[in-house]
A and B are shown apart, each in its own frame.
Chain A
Amino acid sequence: MKAARSETKPRAAVRRFRVRLPNILGVIGGVIVTTLIVVAIFAPWLAPYDPKERVARPFLPPGEGHVLGTNDVGQDLLSELIVGTRVSLMVGIVAATVALIIGAAIGVLAGYYPKRLGSVLMRGVDVVLILPFLPLLIVLAAYLGRSLLNTIVVIGVLIWAEPARIIRSQVLSLRSRQYVLAARSMGASDRWTIFRHVIPRTALLATGSFVRAISGAILLEASLSFLGLGDPIQKSWGSTLFWAQTRGAFLTPAWQWWVLPPGLLIMAASLGFALIAFALEERIDPRL
C-alpha cells in the first residue's frame, strides 16, 4: 500500500509539471516581449544620450556616465541599444505581418480550393521553401539597396511560405467539417463560408505562426544588419555588432560591453516571441 502510494505520487507531480511548462514558458516570453515593447516605445526618454551624437571619447570602457562605454566614434553604446530596440522590433513585427498576409491569403485559398488552384499554389510554396534561404535574402537585399523598407520587404516575401503551409492544412481539414458542409449545402457562398466559418477557426493557429515569424524575422534583420546590408542610417542591434566586428571589438576586452549586450538583446527578443509561439502551439497541438 505504502509502496504504491510512493509510486503514484511523483507521477502526479510530473503530470502537473508537464501541463504547466508551456504556460510558464509562455509567461516568460510575454514578460520579455512586454518589457522590450515598453523600452521601444519610450526609447528616446530612456536613453541617456542621443545615440547619433558624439558624446565622449571613442572606445571608452564602461565608466561613469557611460554604462556600456562608447563605440568607435564616441557614441554612447547603451543609448544605441535602447534606441535600437525600435528598429529590431518594428522590422520583426512588420515583416511578419507582411508574411502573415501573404501566407494567410495563399493558405486559405489553397486549402479551400484544394484541387487545381490549391495544387498550383502549394507547388509555389514548395519552391519557396526549397530555395536556399539566406543566400537569396542576401542577393535580394544587395540588389534592392539598403533601407528599412527594403529590409522589411525582403524578409516578408521570403518567410510567408511556412505560415501558408500551416494555415492551408488547417483550412483543408475545416473544409470537410460538418458545419461547413451544412452551411454550404444551405447555399452559403464561398466568401461567406470562408469569412464566417473558416477564418475565425484558423485565427489561433495563424497567431501562433505569426508570433513565430516575428521571432525569425528579428534574427534575420539582425543578420542582414550584421552583414552591412541594413539601413545605414538606422541604429539596430545588428548594426552595433556590424561595427563591433568591423572595428575588431571582439578581439579586445571590449567584447564584454560591445559584443555581449546587443547579442543578448537579439536573443532575448527572438526567444521571447518564440516562447509565446511555443505556448500557443502547445495549446493547439500538445506535443509535450
Chain B
Amino acid sequence: MTRKFDRRRLAQYGVVVLVAVTLNFLLPRLMPGNPLALIAGVDVGLLTTEQRAEIIADTGLDNPLWRQYVDYWGAIFTGDFGFSYRSGRPIVEMIRDRLPWTLLITGSSLAISALAGVVIGAFSAWRRGRPEDLGLLTGMISLESLPSFWLGMLLISLFSVQWGILPSFGAVTPASDLVGWEHLKDIIGHAVLPVATLTILSTPGVYLTMRYSMLETLGEDYIRTARAKGAGGRRVLFGHVARNAIAPVITVLAIRLGFAFGGTVIVEQVFSYPGLGRLVFEAVSGRDYPVMQAAFLVFTAAVLIANLVADLLYPWVDPRTRTS
C-alpha cells in the first residue's frame, strides 16, 4: 500500500519537474518578439551579424525545436546551466554562492514560526471561543494580509533608521574583515530583520492549521477517555491532543517552506540580502534570462524536496498512517 502510494507521489513530482523544465524551455521560444533577446537577454539591435551568429550557435537556436529540447534536458542533467550574460560567470557558481544565505534565513524563520504557530495554535484551540482565542484568530487573519515588502521596509525604517540598532542591508558588513565570534555576530545581526519579516509572514499559516487540527482532535473519543480517566488540563493538552494534532502541521510546514523560499524574492530584495531570491530579481531587472531560469529550477527543486521530506516524516509523526 505504502509503496504504491510512494510511486504515485514520485510520479507526481516527476510531472512537476517536467512541467517546470518545459515551461522554462518553451516560454522564451513562444513569446512574441525575438527569442534571441529572450534567451540571451541581449539587445539584439546592437549586435553585429557575427556576434549574433555566435550567440545563435552558442544557444543552439538554429537547431530544430525537438533537438533544442533534448539538448536542454541534457544540459540540466549534467548540471550545466550555462553562463550569465551579464557577468559572464557560470550560473552554477552564482547559485552556489547565493543558496546558503537563502537557506539560512528561510530555515531559521521557518523553525521559529513552526514553534510559535504550534504553541499559539494549541493555546488558542484550548481557549476556544474565549476572548483570547478570538483575539489571536483575528490578529493572525490580519497578519495574512500583510504585504511582505512593506513589512520589511517598515522594519528597516524603525530598527535601522529610527533607532539605528540593526543593519538595513546585506548579509555581512562590507570590507569589515571580521573573524570568529565577531563575524558570526555580524551575520546574525544582518539576518535578524529578514528572518523577522519571513517569520511574521509564515506564522499565521501554521497557527491556523494547528488550531483547526487541535479542535478536531479535541473532539475525538480517546481524548474524552483520557479526560474520563482523570488526566486533566495541561497534561491532556500537551500529552495527548497536541501530539496528535501536529501531523497536519508538518504538511503545511513543508508547503510553507516552498513558499517561504519563493517569498525570499521579495524579502531579499527589500533587505538587499545576497540570496537566491535577490538573484532572481537582479536577473529579471537585468534581463539575464538564463540566470532567472536556473534559479526558477532551483526553487522548484526546493519545493519538491520539502514535499518529499514531509511525505517521509508523516508516518513517523502520525503512526496511524504507518504500514508494516
Contacts and interface: CB of A to CB of B under 8 A. Distances in A.
Interface of A: 14-15, 17-18, 21, 25, 123, 126-127, 130-136, 138-140, 142-144, 215, 219, 222-223, 226-229, 241, 244-245, 250-252, 255, 259-260, 262-263, 266-267, 270-271, 274-275, 278, 287-288
B85 interface: no
Given A251-B168, A260-B154, A278 B141 contact: yes
A14 B130 contact: yes
B313 interface: no
A263 B150 contact: yes
Given A143-B27, A252-B161, 5 more contacts: A138-B284, A219-B147, A241-B149, A245-B153, A263-B147
B129 A18 contact: yes
29 contacts: A17-B131, A25-B138, A123-B12, A127-B12, A130-B304, A132-B299, A133-B262, A134-B266, A135-B262, A135-B280, A138-B292, A139-B24, A139-B284, A215-B145, A223-B266, A241-B149, A245-B153, A251-B156, A251-B160, A259-B153, A262-B150, A266-B147, A267-B142, A267-B145, A267-B147, A274-B144, A274-B145, A288-B128, A288-B137
Interface in B1-49: 12-13, 15-16, 19-20, 23-24, 27-28, 31, 38
A143 B284 CA distance: 9
B122 interface: no
B141 A223 contact: no
A135 B129 contact: no
Contacts of A21: 134, 137-138
Contacts of B262: 132-135
B300 A132 contact: yes
A132 B281 CA distance: 15
Given A134-B259, A138-B284, A267-B146, A144 B31 contact: yes
Contacts of A278: 141
A143 B141 contact: no
Interface in B201-224: 212, 215
A112 to B, nearest CB: 23
Nearest to A134: B262
B21 to A, nearest CB: 12
B153 A241 contact: yes
Contact of A138 (B144, B270, B280): B280
Given A251-B156, A255-B154, A288-B129, A131 B147 contact: no
Interface residues of B, number: 63
A87 B84 CA distance: 35
A139 B292 contact: yes
Contacts of B289: 142
A134 B265 contact: yes
Given A140-B27, A227-B266, A267-B146, A287 B303 contact: no
Given A274-B145, A288-B129, A131 B19 contact: yes
A142 B282 CA distance: 12
Interface of B: 12-13, 15-16, 19-20, 23-24, 27-28, 31, 38, 128-131, 134, 137-138, 141-142, 144-151, 153-154, 156-157, 160-161, 168, 212, 215, 258-259, 261-263, 265-266, 269-270, 280-281, 284-285, 287, 289, 292-293, 295-296, 299-300, 302-304, 307
Nearest to A219: B147
6 cross-chain pairs, A with B, having the tightest CB-CB distances, nearest first: A263-B150, A134-B262, A270-B145, A271-B145, A132-B299, A255-B157
Contacts of B16: 127, 130-131
Contacts of B31: 143-144
B82 to A, nearest CB: 16
Contacts of B263: 134
Contacts of B24: 139
Given A228-B285, A244-B153, A139 B265 contact: no
Contact of B129 (A15, A25, A222, A259): A15
Contacts of A263: 147, 150-151, 153-154
A255 B38 CA distance: 37
Nearest to A139: B296
Contacts of A228: 285
Nearest to B38: A143
A287 to B, nearest CB: 6
